[in-house]
Structure 1
Amino acid sequence: MSVNEYELIVIGGGIIGASCGWHWVNATNADVLILEKDQPASKATGRSAGHLNTYASHKFPSAIREYCIEFYQELSCRHDEITIHHDQDYVLAHSSEGADRLHRLTEAHPDTFTYLDSDNLQTTDVPFNTVETTAALTFDRALHSDPYSLTTAMLSEFRSAGGTLKLDSVTDINTDGDRFLVNTTDGTYRSEYLVNATGAWSTQTNSMLDISLPIKARTSQIAILKPDRQLDIPMFHCPDLGLYGRQELGDDVLIGGGTSSFIPDPNGFSTTVSESFLVHVSESSDRIANSLRDARVAESWAGRCTSTPDRNPLVGSTSLSDYYICAGFNGAGVARAPFAGKLVTELILDQDLSFQPEPYAPSRFNEADDFKVKSHSTDW
């Protein structure tokens, strides 16, 4: 049996895996293989909202935020199919406690956010329900794009630079001395380094090497509303309601979020949204904006995200030498993919690091750590 040799194998062809492969081929001439069992960006990546920068980005250091934005802007300049949409992000409170949270957040980041109390909202021309909204803050650098186009553009450049992408399902992983043997449906591949970028399947991939890390797959749900009138609504986040949204091309409005639930088996996961989510969207739409009162659901889908106990991703080496993981982005995988690919490449090559690795190191957790999954849309 012939074994194909690579310096690095990345398992997972979503936007995280694409970024890992892209950064590797742009840092070294060593051979790299990305293995994807279906089509690239066909799982969590393709079903995400594609937010690149929102008010919640303040939770990551500025060096990470700015690198990711610059990376995507430069990628879009090289690919006409990529459009990066600039927007304003409104964070809306629907309770007195929520208003207090927004006020404290603005005080902590006065150069980033602008706070609007209920009186300001009544006298400001905003397209939201100012009766239901108790306060808001605004963030002026919101960005979003199509995650499928971003992923395919990275993979196109990855292949042009000499990287290999194979559509093949991993069945088992073993060690062979200081090498990894990755067995697939169609063959066997050997590498010195291995990166797990399988998202919701990260735990299953880890188990092939007897690695245990606190990472769980959870649901993420999106509905597309079709209003009965012409709209002009900016991006919005409603943590009190557990929802976020933005206007799509035309007048359609994307609304995502809702209650998350643990996914024990990603393979058996249904991409159909729950009835309770659709009811929640219907009941909340009018509280967000009067213009959404009679909007109907035109389309909906559910996707998979991954979470960790502290809601920071796992990016770095594991207890098994030369085995790395990039997962647990809690819905921010598209926004933070460039950072993940760059950091893991620098760690493998023992280069000077562009970012502090400690907050994302898998070693910060014990194997037995347990936690309850939570939707990022309820975060302040």
Structure 2
Amino acid sequence: MADGTRTTEVLIIGGGIIGLTIALRLRRSNVPVIVLEKGEPGRGASFAAAGLIAPKFEPETEPFARLAIASRDRYRDYCEELRQLTGVNPEYRDEGTIMPLLDDEEETYANGIIESAGDSVPLKTLSRKNILDLEPDLSPEVRRGIFIPGDHQVNNRKLLQALIAAVQKLGGDIRPNTPARAIRVEAGRVSRVESDKDTYTPRHVVLAAGCWSHQVEIDDPSLSPPTRPVKGQMVAVQMTPPVTLTRNIHSPRCYIVPRVDGRADIGATVEEVGFDTEVSSEAVDKLLAAARSVVPGLRQSPVIETWAGLRPGSPDSHPIVGKTPVEGLIMATGNYRSGLLMAPITGELVTELILTGQTPELLRPFSPGRFTDTAGSESG
């Protein structure tokens, strides 16, 4: 039972990287904002990620590529803003990604990557000598490789730490362990949001609850976003001398993301198993075997962490962002594997939408209405 009624200009449901970045941008525009988070802020899909900022390895459509590259291009300033606000360094790095190719199947996969790249994601082919000069600890079985200079990385956990602190420093109200239960609609607009503790009466509601978004009751059930959990298991090792990696390694077998402290995150499985977050020894063994086949020296590296996260899948693996037919209700969810990548541009454009009432052109292909008969909700 709710204890009281709270008012605010914007209520964000979901304290992950998308919801928090929207809150950051709103506070930069002096908009009052409350963030409701069902658990601990910043502990969802983006906490469980590897920190890759890599547009090339996400779903291939031109609208998605435009949005992803626009977001990637904002990342350096985004991280520097957070560092200056909080003193926490998100460890932004732009050394790029190397794709080592070890067999015929991987050569075929790489040819497809090269053919589909276009001008928006520059690639460079590397000879065996070139690739081993760049990363000497790759397998001696490597035939050749691809270098993707436009791929970046961050320490996603430090980024989230900085983001939470920045929102709070700017006056944002983040409420942990406060799940939103229902969004109530009267006369075609949002009237209130109910949680276990309070009722809220905002002008705007942003539903940004990741794979849990569809669990928030909406009076019109047809507006519930078609999100689902997609499990990803990962393992981290501590690289031991003489093994060192400088760049992201993205093999068709796995990816390896090296950190400045010698940690290397290895991922990831893709599993449609509901809300299960158990880590299996089988998955860990497969990820370690894949990583060691690419970087043999990792056989001596101790395992320091295993974990699983839940990505917010959507029917077409693209974000669900924009207006709904209910006045004041906006979606910002369904980012699947790209929530970390899409945070800067989503925060900017959703804030623009709230302030102007107009949908930015980059967001139009990702309207919530594309899954229903309400596509016209993006007409303004």
TM-score normalized with structure 1 length: 0.83
Aligned equivalent of 1:73, options 70, 80, 83: 80
Q: Counterpart in 2 of 1:376?
A: none
Q: Deviations over 1:290-343 (max 9, x none)?
A: 212343423201111112233221111224332111112222212211111111
| Residue 252 (structure 1) aligned with residue 263 (structure 2) | yes
**Equivalent residue in structure 1 for 2:321, among 306, 315, 322:** 315
Q: CA separation in 1, counterparts of 2:293 and 2:65?
A: 30
Following the alignment from structure 2 to structure 1, what is the Cα–Cα distance between the partners of residues 283 and 310? 15
Match in the other structure for 2:107: 99
Q: CA deviation at 1:130?
A: 3.6
RMSD after superposition: 2.9
Aligned equivalents of 2:217, 2:345: Cα separation in 1: 22
- Change over 3 Å in CA distance of 1:24–1:196 after alignment to 2: same
TM-aligned CA deviation for residue 45 of structure 1 = 2.5
Offset from partner CA, 1:204-243 (integer Å, 9 cap, x none): 12656512433221111110124554321134444532x2
Structure 1 residue 21: deviation in Å? Answer: 1.0
1:150 pairs with one of 159, 180, 185:
159
1:55–1:89 contact (8 Å) kept in structure 2: no
Match of 1:8, as an amino acid? V
1:33 equivalent in alignment to 2:34:
yes
CA pair 64-99 structure 1, distance change in 2 beyond 3 A: same
- Corresponding residue of 2:376: none
Q: Is 1:48 paired with 2:56? A: no
Q: Distance in 2 between matches of 1:38 and 1:360?
A: 27
Distance in 2, Cα, partners of 1:144 & 1:312: 21
**Structure 2 residue aligned with 1:174, among 184, 194, 200?**
184
Contact kept in structure 1, 2:5 and 2:200, CA below 8 Å: yes
Choose which of 60, 65, 69 in structure 2 pairs with 1:60. Answer: 65
Which structure 1 segments of 5+ residues have no match? 368-380
**Residues 11 and 277 from structure 1, CA distance in 2 versus in 1: closer, same or farther, beyond 3 angstroms?**
same
Map residues 347-358 of structure 1 onto 2, 5 A cutoff.
347-350=353-356, 356-358=362-364
Q: Distance in 2 between matches of 1:231 and 1:119?
A: 18
* Cross-structure match for 1:218: 230
Aligned residue for 2:149?
140
Q: Distance in 2 between matches of 1:73 and 1:205?
A: 34
Equivalent pairs, count: 359
Contact residue 132 and residue 138 of structure 2 kept, 8 A: no
The answer (yes or no) to whether the contact 2:22–2:347 under 8 Å persists in 1 is yes
CA drift at 1:246: 1.9
**Contact 1:63–1:355 under 8 Å retained in 2:** no
**Against the structure 1 CA distance between its residues 209 and 345, is the aligned structure 2 distance closer, same or farther, given a 3 Å change threshold?**
farther
Contact (CA 8 Å) 2:322, 2:364: kept in 1 or not?
no
Out of 349, 352, 371, the position equivalent to 1:365 is 371
8 Å Cα contact 2:353-2:360 kept in structure 1? no
| Distance in 1 separating the partners of 2:204 and 2:33 | 9
Residue aligning to 1:163: 172
SS in 2 for 1:7: strand
